Amino acid sequence: MELLFSEENKIIPIVLSAIFLLLFMVVSLVLFFRFARKKIIEKELEKSAIKLASQKKVLQATIETQERERKRIAQDLHDAISAKLNVVSLHINMLLDGSLTTNEQQESLSNVLGVTTNVLESSRQIAHDLLPPILEKFGLVEALKELLAEFGATKKVVAQHQINYLTTLTKAEELHVFRIVQELLNNSVRHGKATLMRLELQDAAGEMKLTYKDNGKGFLVKQAFNEGGLGLKNIKSRVAILNGEIQIKSSLNQGATFTIIIKHNSYE
pLDDT of 55 > 70? The answer is no
**223-268 confidence digits (pLDDT tens):** 877 775 667 888 888 898 888 999 999 999 999 999 999 987 654 4
Domain edges within the chain? 1-130, 133-263
Q: What is the dihedral of CA 87, 88, 94, 97, to 10 degrees?
A: -140
Find, among 201, 138, 147, the residue nearest to 171 by Cα. 138
Hey, what CATH class is 133-263 in?
A: alpha beta
Predicted local distance difference test score (pLDDT) of residue 5: 47
pLDDT, residue 25, reads 72
Report helix, strand or coil for 100: coil
Give the separation between CA 172 and CA 107, rounded to whole angstroms.
45
Band of residue 214 on the pLDDT scale cut at 50, 70, 90: very high
- Threshold 0.95, pTM exceeds: no
Average pLDDT over residues 62-66: 65
pLDDT digits (tens, 9 = 90+) for 109-167: 787 777 777 777 766 666 666 677 888 888 999 999 999 998 888 778 999 999 999 87
